[in-house]
Amino acid sequence: MEKAPRLMAAALKFSPQQSPSFMIASAAYFARIFRQQKPWSYMIAVNLAIMVGLVIYKFYFGNPLVQYSYLLADYHFGFMKRALLGAILALFQDKIAISEVFIIALTVWLLTMALFIVLFKRTFGFRGDRLALFVFIFGSPVFFKNFFHAYGFFDIYGCLFAIAVLLMPVNRLFPLIVGAGCAVLVLIHHLHFLLYIPAIAVIAVIRFYCLRPFSRADIVYGAIAMLPMIAAFITSMFFGNAPVSEDELIEYFKTRATGPLTYWNIRIWHTSIEQELAKTAAEFSKNVLRLPVYALLIALHWPLIRFMRRLYFSIADKIHRLIVILGIAGITAGYGIIFIFVYDYARWFSSWAVCMMLMMHALAMLQKQSGVPAPAFSTPETQKNDSIYGWIVTAIPRVGLQIPF
């Protein structure tokens, strides 16, 4: 153990001229930590193997026709919901290959994963029982495993921006950047208004108002910064349907596509709120029977829930605690509305769980401000059970899209 601080010190004394020695020292430092943290380091290795296998499987056997249509949609006929990403691609290329679904999804997935690792290291580090905490988040079937199972869908963009909001410096531009990013998320997919924006808003409130002095002007400033996002949501909800018929939209997609198309999915650019509600109601009797599966998945994350509870009670300021409770309740209420209108329950459950994991980082920031020692994630009394939970969570490859597993 005596060499680890020296290795870390060598890593911190980095200069461009010392880059080889810096990389060697860093690698040795982390290798030593991982060797000392069995079985958690084994779990990380298994999780990585599952993720690699999932990527290979999706590359060879995936058939992302629905996701492909999202890249073909743009603003050719005027404003349409779910069309921002396609509109950006249209600026650079006239034709879209179906392989681009995989390429873009893999790039965004890897970027999100890299930023999350940076965030985790900054918030918790990897020493002691923090590697076990990392296993329960990074290796959870609701997180990166499920994001790639749902590759090509737009949920991950909300998670990516939420991580960015947790990482970016807090200055006078912070509310404007958060507001603009949320508006972009809504234009990518209007469901982000309830999917990730509530969590992003709570994180932004904690970082901009709870972790620094603020004035009444700051409150007004923050509210004004969110107006573009609200405008984007209203426009998408009430004026976001395609301004042309399904047949004309299909013919336009054919001019943009080099791969196969699915025509039934074209309806999503012509559906109303009433139609979405009717479809979900028709599936509800089946979906409600699967609710115990989601309850079981929550129970398997008990060590994570226990740690989040410890973080919460380590926050000294009662007002901050109240903000956290109201924030979690607001996030959950948003998902309740999603469950009423859209029946992709496995996706929504997974994203809700991801929002809770991201909120944990915001709680850790508040806890650190309290000046009390950070709570333990695992203790000698719970270590055996935590390891069992960890292996079960690790072994589950993903949750799903509409139906669990």
Task: Give the residue extent of every domain in the chain.
Answer: 1-36, 40-395
CA atoms within 13 A on the CB side of 231: 8
Give the C-alpha distances (Å, rounded to integers) separating 76 from 185, 249, 257: 20, 10, 14
Least confident of 4-8, 286-290, 328-332: 4-8
Its pTM surpasses 0.75: yes
Q: What pLDDT does 276 receive?
A: 83
Question: What confidence category does residue 8 fall into, taking pLDDT thresholds of 50, 70 and 90?
Answer: very low
The string of pLDDT tens digits covering residues 113-148 is 999 999 999 999 998 899 999 999 999 999 999 999
Strand partners, 257: 96
CA atoms within 13 A on the CB side of 264: 0
Q: How far is CA 190 from the centre of its chain?
A: 16
